[in-house]
Structure 1
């Protein structure tokens, strides 16, 4: 699950991003409204945490633009203005939810989970199945022939991406964009290692295949 955190307060943004990553989310960070639109266009985001009072381009304008473009991510607007009229204005702009600062971190997590469930329902089924492999994205459960498979967050993300491709090739660069958000880990070698361990955990017969110049795909042959 990928989040876009749009917050110009550096300390708050860093604290929230670190916490959310520990929860297992992929987190991109934008510091102003214009950067938020650029980041949203560059990646497939599920939930946007959007501060309302942003430099360069106001959060209201960001929200209106995303809604007008039909961007599929859910928008949770964050702001220090918590009066009823402010909440109504934010929702009228097209935001899916509104949370006033200061907020409890556990409530933020609950709001994100709620919006993420709605995003998954809108986009596609949260369950992927192929060759006896069953991946429940919402509950983060992986099985093969009914037997549970313990996967790391990266292994789970790679498997989900390959299953979503429905037999098509996914390049190492595409996997890095979908699954990795840590700059220091974004190398083709890291992808190769994760795919190797994922293959081992999935067992035989092998269902992840690779081809030089193409990448990786799911297949029975």
Structure 2
């Protein structure tokens, strides 16, 4: 199978886009330039992308919304957010939407290319692109979860989770599409705490299910198999 070498450059500044494009070409990539979100998504749907560099401000479009749409559409390659906005909340918005890194303008092209190469290398070493990752983050179907911010993001929806809800989501994601018993969940998350019973699992399953609603936005659902346990699945019921 041919490894995609196309890199999306979503940047409304023509000069910056040109600089990035030349740098990508020298590095052996095939740059695809888009000056707005609609063109960027059209490019993403046309053929697989190896990576993307996304400006946070694309005219009237927001870069973090584009990042989120790229992830929902199934893009698994590294996404770097490039922006003159350098406040902590701006960085958090980009990362929470599904970006791998945030580079502030003015930027050094060599540093940007190095970071892009590093993230691509780390992605290549991952055993899979879905489910829970070593850093605790989750990407599966339309769901992205950032454990640092405790924020779950779906198409047009955000949910703030508690620490225990995040731990439960991570455990279920590690067992995506596999039935896990109530006892297995309890032993993993609550067994070391005195005074708890297995009923606490049902309570937190309910909490998490409500927060990951509507299921069509997050692309996953928690199924209950009566008498047997629970399953996080990306195969939605009709």
Q: TM-score, normalised by structure 2?
A: 0.49
Verify the 8 A CA contact 2:53 2:79 in the aligned structure 1: yes
SS at match of 2:61: coil
2:110 counterpart residue number: 106
Written as runs of structure 1 = structure 2, the 5 A alignment for 1:1-221 is 1-55=5-59, 57-122=61-126
In structure 2, the gaps of 5 or more residues are 129-238
What secondary structure, in the 3-state scheme, does the structure 2 residue paired with 1:44 have?
A: coil
Instruction: Give, in angstroms, the shift of residue 122 of structure 1.
Output: 4.6
SS of the residue aligned with 1:99? strand
Q: Distance in 2 between matches of 1:63 and 1:20?
A: 19
State the 1:119 CA deviation.
3.5
The answer to whether the 8 A contact 2:55-2:63 is kept is yes
- Verify the 8 A CA contact 2:81 2:99 in the aligned structure 1: yes
- Work out whether residues 33 and 56 of structure 1, in 8 Å CA contact, stay in contact via their aligned partners in 2: no
Question: Quick check: 1:20–1:27 contact (8 Å CA) kept in 2?
Answer: yes
Q: 1:46 to 1:118 in 2, by over 3 A?
A: farther
* 8 Å contact kept, 2:64–2:93: no
Question: What is the RMSD computed on CA atoms of the aligned residues?
Answer: 1.8
> What's the counterpart of residue 140 of structure 2?
none
In structure 2, C-alpha distance between the alignment counterparts of 1:123 and 1:14, rounded to whole Å: 35
| Number of equivalences | 124
8 Å contact kept, 1:51–1:78: yes
Measure, in 1, the Cα distance between the counterparts of 2:127 and 2:116.
16
Distance (Å, rounded) in 2 between the aligned partners of 1:123 and 1:50: 26
Distance 2:36 2:94 in 1: 18
* Residue aligning to 1:217: none
Offset, 1:67 = 2.0
| SS of equivalent residue, structure 1 residue 29 | strand
Secondary structure in structure 1 of the residue aligned to 2:7: strand
1:107-165 deviation line (CA, Å, top 9, x unaligned): 101111012213333588xxxxxxxxxxxxxxxxxxxxxxxxxxxxxxxxxxxxxxxxx
Query: How far, CA to CA, are the matches of 2:23 and 2:111 in structure 1?
Result: 13
Distance 1:17 1:26 in 2: 8
